[in-house]
Amino acid sequence: MKKLWRIYLLICIMVVTATALTKPKPDEATAEVTAYLQQTLPAFITSIQQLYDAVLKMRAGNAQQINSTKQALRQCRLKYKRVSLLMEYFFPSETTVFNAPPKYEVDEPDMEYQHPAGLQVIEELLFKPYKAANYKALLQQVLLVKHSAEALPALLHGFKATEAQVMESIKLELVRIMALYISGYDAPQLKSGIDEAYQAMAAISQLLQAYIKDYAGAEDIKLCMQNSLAMLQGYPSFDGFERLRFLQQCAVPLQRQLQQFVTANGLQLNNAPALNTSATYLFADDALNKNVFTIAGSNGLNANLVTLGKTLFSETALSGDNTRSCASCHVPGKYFADGLKTNTIMHSDKNLQRNTPTLLYSVFQYSQFWDGRAKTLDEQALTVLHNKTEMNINEDSAVQRLSGDKNYTALFTQVWPNEEKEVSIKHISAALSAYVATLTPFQSPFDKYMRGDTTALTPAQQNGFNIFMGKAACGTCHFIPLFNGLTPPLYNKTEYEVAGTTSTDDFTKPVADTDMGRYNFFPIQFYKKAFKTPTVRNTAVTLPYMHNGTFKTLQKVVEFYNRGGAAGMGLKEEGQTLPSRPLHLAQYEKDCLVAFMQSLTDDMRRIHEIK
């Protein structure tokens, strides 16, 4: 017996020792990351110096020298992608200067502005007509990036990293590759996105080696990496890149394999809480964590609460004159929109100011309404109930009506059995928001394709996705997987854009729209005519389009963007964030774009199910 016990003890010691030897310790992870950055940062810093030298030589605006500077910028961006996954994870505040969007970012609610700076601003200036003022701004930006880069090595003093942190940085970089890099989000005019994605993928591959070498599924991960790198390397055309095939055959399988590795080794972290750490891939219906999107007061999405909310959604007693319900404007049979340019004001034949958006997937936003004036679905519900032009009911009337209905009091008591006053306006809004939060079916042909059904999309729809995420640049504002303004890779903010929408869809005689959008709620210049970026999911069946409902067809929407918005059509729209340069889409490309957007239409049977 003693002999058996000794053998068992020896086996346990061997297992523990083997595990300790094969898994990098925290100090080893720190050493590996430090060594990697020490190896790759000098090349990035050198590339910035070369960019600076190129800018100095283009004082006279010589076309050849400008092109040389563009190539120097391209090389600089490629070198940055070798370090971006670690820099943006471990040193996010220090590295915003390198790859921040070329527009003012507003930090709410403090309303602090982040001035445009860095490589994306440099690109924008390089592609503008040469002027002395532009050159001066360009030189200032390059100097800023140069000085910031030269200070990077100092960040490594006292630096610490764990294996779990490295794996999370890798997973987030893969999301950037899928959602941002291949769409050209970082460098829309250089069109270097595919090459940048390759460099980022190569960095992932190199960093992974130390962690997966003794992992049972290492060969599967390596195969996914090889397939990804092979497809990205040396692709001849940015516009022609087969993004759908890359995602479905390369990136998604790699995500699945990495998730298995992280789970098997207990390396889950949650520094990006909007991302579900247990989801297997970005297009899974549970990839985003609904609870992060502040469904205030809803006590979770339990079945009784959702059932109550679904009942209240069609309840006309929640309007001042007992004639209107939520479902009157967000019609379930019309994909929770109404099919009207704008609906009517209560007790009037006049129209509301804005188009009624679909409620589908509205939970996946950090603000509600076109102008984002409500932060939660609960707040949205209360705003509509109290609005004199919409539901026009006060709190006392709503509570009194429902309290007098035995069926409702039973439903409210079932959800809140221990509260003295079960029926309250707070509970009403919580129930409504809980129901709306379930309207996330993920049952479109596109979703089925991403789950492996390669027959779900037609060739035109597949081509349309590639154009959407490439040449047409739609995916640089309507981000995957929601195709709305929820920004990757952290999905921690909702974007507002000044699209330069016209007041009609007659583009031969364009007229500027006068709606000031978010500026009416936050009166700062960057919000003039700014609106929340809506989802493109179910857009084919929720016409008409834009905040003013002025575009009657998807063809008109595509043509609007093809022309570069209001500014592209010659109207003065100084704050337009939509690039004013034309897209030069051929007719078949426009048709494919429309076909793809049609593939985002959900199966109605699933929409009406409660999850």
**pLDDT tens readout for residues 538-594:** 999 999 999 999 999 999 999 999 999 999 999 999 899 999 999 999 999 999 999
pLDDT at 88: 95
Whether residue 505 sits in one domain with residue 529: yes
Whether residue 581 sits in one domain with residue 458: yes
Asked if the structure places residue 277 within a domain, the reply is no
Domain final position from 222, 238, 271: 271
Whether residue 302 sits in one domain with residue 222: no
Whether residue 532 sits in one domain with residue 505: yes
| Torsion (CA) 516, 520, 525, 529 in degrees, nearest 10 | -20
Ranges in the chain, pLDDT < 70: 1-26, 107-113, 294-300, 606-611
Q: How far apart are CA 421 and CA 257, in angstroms?
A: 50
Contact (Cβ atoms closer than 8 angstroms) between residue 532 and residue 479: no
Whether residue 339 sits in one domain with residue 309: yes
Domain final position from 383, 414, 437: 437
Q: Is 545 helix (H, G, I), strand (E, B) or coil?
A: strand
Contact (Cβ atoms closer than 8 angstroms) between residue 328 and residue 384: no
Whether residue 252 sits in one domain with residue 309: no
Asked if the structure places residue 321 within a domain, the reply is yes
Q: How far apart are CA 52 and CA 102, in angstroms?
A: 19
Whose structure tokens read 């509970």? 427
pLDDT at 582: 97
Instruction: State both tokens at 416.
Output: 């809140």
DSSP 408-464: HHHHHHHHSTT-S----HHHHHHHHHHHHHT-----SHHHHHHTT-TTSS-HHHHHH
- CA 600 from chain centre, in angstroms, equals 16
Q: How far apart are CA 357 and CA 122, in angstroms?
A: 37
User: Where are the alpha helices (H) located in 57-110, listed in sequence order?
Assistant: 63-80, 84-90, 96-99
pLDDT at 498: 96
Contact (Cβ atoms closer than 8 angstroms) between residue 593 and residue 468: yes
Longest dimension (CA), the chain: 95
Whether residue 332 sits in one domain with residue 322: yes
Residue type, 493: K
Whether residue 450 sits in one domain with residue 412: no
Asked if the structure places residue 279 within a domain, the reply is no
Q: For helices 587-598 and 554-562, what crossing angle results, to 10°?
A: 130
Domain count across the chain: 4
Asked if the structure places residue 541 within a domain, the reply is yes
- CA 573 from chain centre, in angstroms, equals 25
Whether residue 321 sits in one domain with residue 418: yes
Asked if the structure places residue 283 within a domain, the reply is no
Asked if the structure places residue 8 within a domain, the reply is no
Whether residue 177 sits in one domain with residue 132: no
Report the CATH number at residue 527: 1.10.760.10
Q: How far apart are CA 125 and CA 145, in angstroms?
A: 14
Closest by CA to 367, choosing from 481, 535, 493, is 493
Asked if the structure places residue 390 within a domain, the reply is yes
pLDDT at 101: 84
Whether residue 575 sits in one domain with residue 514: yes
- CA 526 from chain centre, in angstroms, equals 20
Q: How far apart are CA 210 and CA 265, in angstroms?
A: 14
The residues, ordered by sequence, that sit 6+ positions from 274 with a Cβ below 8 Å of its Cβ are: 288, 289, 292, 293, 486, 490, 491, 492
Sign of CA dihedral 249, 252, 255, 257: negative
Asked if the structure places residue 72 within a domain, the reply is yes
Domain final position from 228, 243, 271: 271
Instruction: State both tokens at 422.
Output: 């079960």
pLDDT at 21: 40
Instruction: State both tokens at 550.
Output: 């002025």
Whether residue 218 sits in one domain with residue 146: no
Burial 472-502 (b: 16+ CB within 10 A, else e): bbbbbbbbbbbbbbbbbbbbebbbbbbbbbb
pLDDT at 347: 83
Closest by CA to 371, choosing from 493, 524, 532, 525, is 532
Closest by CA to 202, choosing from 78, 324, 336, 297, is 78
How many CB atoms are closer than 10 A to CB 300?
A: 10
Residue 373 domain boundaries: 291-437
